[in-house]
């Protein structure tokens, strides 16, 4: 073997031994814990910041919050899935997402239930 090869092999062995010494394979790690995350949307807060501007007073024909008859008619005609689709896609003056771009379909359904309940 040439001197250069011997140096390369020795360097590689030195590197491997150094890396093995740095590893923590023998140490125990604490188990990962499950962190409970709060719901994405707190309904009254989200209602106030997105839906309430129009639904509190019935702007542009929007059903008013707490008008159980208006909401019941819409729920009967479209069902919850249909109302959620209307929010997701926008309807008449309501923009897509109903001013809640971070809301999921489940969040929108919770907001609809909140508005449909007699206040």
Domain boundaries, the chain: 43-116
User: What confidence tens digit (pLDDT) does each residue in 14-24 have?
Assistant: 666 666 666 66
Can you tell me whether residue 37 is helix, strand or coil?
coil
- Residues facing residue 13 across a β-bridge: none
Q: Let me know: does 49 contact 56? Beta carbons within 8 Å.
A: no
> Whose structure tokens read 């919050």?
65
pTM of the full structure: 0.65
Tokens for 9, please give them.
Answer: 């092999």
The domain defined by 43-116 folds into Cytochrome Bc1 Complex; Chain D, domain 2 (1.10.760)
Which residue ranges of the chain lie beneath pLDDT 50? none
Rounded (10°) angle between helices 68-89 and 105-116: 160
């Amino acid at each position: 073997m040439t001197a250069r090869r011997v140096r390369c092999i020795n360097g590689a062995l030195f590197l491997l031994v150094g890396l093995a010494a740095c590893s923590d394979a023998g140490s125990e790690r604490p188990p990962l814990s499950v962190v409970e995350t709060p719901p994405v949307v707190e309904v009254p807060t989200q209602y106030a910041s997105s839906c309430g501007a129009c639904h509190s007073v019935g702007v542009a024909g929007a059903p008013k919050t707490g008008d159980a008859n208006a909401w019941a008619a819409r729920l009967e005609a479209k069902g919850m899935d249909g109302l959620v689709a209307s929010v997701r896609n926008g309807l008449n003056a309501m923009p897509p997402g109903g001013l809640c771009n971070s809301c999921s379909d489940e969040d929108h359904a919770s907001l609809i239930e909140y508005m449909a309940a007699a206040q």
